[in-house]
Amino acid sequence: MTTTRLSSKGQIVVPKNLRELYNWQAGLEFVVLDTGDGILIKPKRPFATTTIDDVAGCLAYSGTPKTVKEMDTAVQHGIAEAWHDSC
């Protein structure tokens, strides 16, 4: 077990052996989570950069376009089914 210390500026040094083990380089961003017991520090893993063209491809629809009323009705049916299935 390795120990470290909190600096007067609120900084904690991650021991070198752990930085090397996880290949953490200077400038890497972390997410800090409160576990109730302490904290968990995890590297931030952002989503890959995408464009609207990358995403819009999954929206393809062939058929007659639905009206807003038809979509609202479908959503209400989905909610009713989900609520019924959870009972």
Q: Which of 11, 7, 10, 43 is nearest to 25 (CA)?
A: 43
Alpha helix ranges (H) inside 1-67: 16-22, 52-56
Structure confidence at residue 36 (pLDDT):
93
Structure confidence at residue 87 (pLDDT):
60
Residue pLDDT, tens place only, 2-21: 889 999 999 999 999 999 99
Can you list the residues of the chain whose pLDDT is less than 70?
85-87
Structure confidence at residue 2 (pLDDT):
83
